[in-house]
């Protein structure tokens, strides 16, 4: 696994917010079935790329790397592995491996609607350490997101927005800015079912907020439940241009996250 391949693979994992560990063979004593400098990249799912020799040694390296990811240990770890004593291998060599973990603490943000405000908001959020997904019923608007940001932003094209909120991790921040009131109501209704969602915001005015809450109350939700979403969302800063609305929403998300 040459250096350019390592850099590209790590870069691709960084873009998707995937945590990974880079395992490097840094010392060999006696017989070890690999060379110094051999590398592999490990994710929570297992070996992602490269090799440090295969067999029991590689399996041990994968186990140690995955444990480091589970423990969220950012600091590099050094491991000395005796192939005979530790792994029961006939060869009596000793391998020393160096494990560097890159942990992406998952801050999941779901944006519903890919219109002007969402386009501006996406431009801001891609610079943060978050997993960003934009959902819309309109392929052309999602195409603008793809063209501008590529793999850094996941896009979902759907004709049934009600099915989407439940597919996200439980701590996802939900930003609702669909093309119209009816679609907003569909999404906020489902998002409110996610009791652990730290943020649910709907773009619009106080009049719109009253209408949505009145509808939800008629449907049987409690007043406390209907107060869980922000509308208008965003901090009371800036003007009504998409760019400044986006700044106010991004600031509100950061303030909520703390």
Does 90 score more than 80 pLDDT? no
Mean pLDDT for the stretch of residues 153-174: 94
pLDDT given at position 200: 98
Average pLDDT of 81-91?
82
Question: 185, 175, 188: which is closest to 250 by C-alpha?
Answer: 175
pLDDT at 2 over 80: yes
Distances (CA, A) of 162 to 81, 95, 136, 150, 165: 52, 53, 11, 25, 7
Per-domain residue ranges for the chain?
3-102, 108-257
Residue with more model confidence, 35 or 143? 143
Task: State the Cα–Cα distance between residues 158 and 32, nearest whole angstrom.
Answer: 52
Rounded to whole angstroms, the Cα distance separating 48 from 183 reads: 39
Q: Is 228 left (phi over 0), alpha (psi -120 to 50) or beta?
A: alpha
CA distance 42 to 59: 11
Each residue's pLDDT tens digit, 176-203: 999 988 999 999 999 999 999 999 999 9
Binning pLDDT at 50, 70 and 90, where does residue 33 land? confident
- Tell me the H-state helices in the chain: 3-15, 55-71, 116-125, 139-149, 181-191, 206-218, 223-226, 242-257
Residue 75 DSSP label: S
CA distance 222 to 210: 14
- Specify the length of the chain in residues: 258
User: Does residue 238 register a pLDDT over 90?
Assistant: yes
CATH number of 108-257: 3.40.50.720
State yes or no: pLDDT of 51 exceeds 90. yes
């Amino acid at each position: 696994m040459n250096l350019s391949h390592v850099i590209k693979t790590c870069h691709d994992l960084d873009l998707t917010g995937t945590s990974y560990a880079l395992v490097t063979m840094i010392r060999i004593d006696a017989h070890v079935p690999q060379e110094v400098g051999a590398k592999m990249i490990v994710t929570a799912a297992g070996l992602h790329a490269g090799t440090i020799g295969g067999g029991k040694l590689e399996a041990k390296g994968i186990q140690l790397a995955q444990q480091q990811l589970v423990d969220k240990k950012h600091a590099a770890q050094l491991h000395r592995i005796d192939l005979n004593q530790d792994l029961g291998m006939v060869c009596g060599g000793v391998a020393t491996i160096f494990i560097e973990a890159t942990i992406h603490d998952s801050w999941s943000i779901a944006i519903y609607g890919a219109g002007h405000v969402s386009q501006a908001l996406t431009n801001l959020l891609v610079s943060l350490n978050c997993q960003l997904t934009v959902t819309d019923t309109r392929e052309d608007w999602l195409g603008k997101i793809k063209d501008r940001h590529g793999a850094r932003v996941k896009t979902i094209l759907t004709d049934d927005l009600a099915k989407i909120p439940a597919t996200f991790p439980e701590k996802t921040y939900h930003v609702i800015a669909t093309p119209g009131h009816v679609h907003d109501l569909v999404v906020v209704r489902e998002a409110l079912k996610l009791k652990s969602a730290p943020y649910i915001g709907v773009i619009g005015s106080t009049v719109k907020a009253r209408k949505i809450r009145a509808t939800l109350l008629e449907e049987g939700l409690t007043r406390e439940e209907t107060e869980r979403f922000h509308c208008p969302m965003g901090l009371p800063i800036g003007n009504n241009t998409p760019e400044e609305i986006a700044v106010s929403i991004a600031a509100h998300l950061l303030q909520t996250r703390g």
